[in-house]
Chains A and B, each alone.
Chain A
Amino acid sequence: METIGIWIAALLTLGIFSFLYKDNPFYKFCESLFVGVSAGYWFVTTFWQVFMPKLADNLVAGRFYYIIGAIFGVMMLLRLIPKIGWISRWSLALVVGTTAGLYFTRYLVSNGMVQVQYTIISLYVKGNLSQTIGNLVIVIGTFSGLIYFFFSKEHKGAFGGLAKLGIWFLMLSFGASFGYTVMSRMSLLIGRMDFLLGTWLGLIR
């Protein structure tokens, strides 16, 4: 059973890779299978790990107000019927409202205020040159980067110079992201190669 499974997995892997040569029916087959299998997987997982414990168990335990959740949920599904699909917007509204309400304060605090709090730092650290330079870079980088995203003033003169500095900082960070993304993609490929050459063909230990 295990051997058959490994062969299936290997063939599917090669099927996806075949796209690199050319789009072909074998790839299309693997892709469609992927779409179906992952949808099925999500369907089953949400059933056993959300519906049963969160909805069914609560109703069985006599907390009947949870029926409201079911009602809103079913309203969501009504989108499939075009005529009364509009009613799904009620449940969508609840989802949108929850995220908007939570995001409003959380992003302001964690991505805004807390980051500013830690950017208010001393520009001179006694006896520690590298930390001094580091702190200076942090403050100037954050400041000039924000200047670049300030839209109420034309980028001219000293302000324009700061914005220019800001864009250089941004580019440096994009370069870093670039390097890290390459790293990620290569790791994934290593994983697949290890499977094909090791687990499947047994060429490497």
Chain B
Amino acid sequence: MRRQIPLALVFIFGVFMIFQYFVPHESSEWIYEFLLDWIYIIGIFALALGIWSLIRVSITKIKARKANWGYPIITLMGLFLMILFGFTGYRNGSLGFHFMTAEGLSNPMFRNFFDYILIPIQSTMFALLAFFIASAAYRAFRARNVLASLLLVAALVVMLRFNPYLGPIGPYVADAASWLLNVPNLAAKRAIIIGIGLGMVATALKIILGIERGYMGKG
């Protein structure tokens, strides 16, 4: 029972969604919209589990007093402060359980934390990619064998496509780069995508039929 009912649910909803795709009628659309709405709502309940997990792991680390045990305190402080700002605000001069008002977010600190803590860290993490793309290129682009050489040459040609110091060969490099990006690129991506499509479809089918059930626990 503990496994059969969930597997039956997977089958029923999976098959329903397949048929729904072919039925344009209004009632089929209504059910489709309801189902998607439900998933968002269940997601929020799951988020509560997630936050609980984060808090528990942090507290375990703090209690164990292993290396770096102090940092989870910062995580928890950030978490609770932001929750406090996110769930309270002033409206008509009184503090309460508010979020949005006509003037925007009811607690300006929520916005401040977003703009001056989340955004700078986020963009800097993203910007780290500039450095990592350089170090990855240095480390991995070695002409060790045919495959590695192809990888290396294609990357070099594309990276040189607007380089002004190439003299007369410059235009040819630019043409070669755009050919690489338009022709082999298209072919390879299409081959990969067709493969992915088949793999996904097969996996989805195995899930619906209950063949692939590794994601569902035992007992």
Say if A and B assemble together: no
B interface residues, Cβ below 8 angstroms from A = none
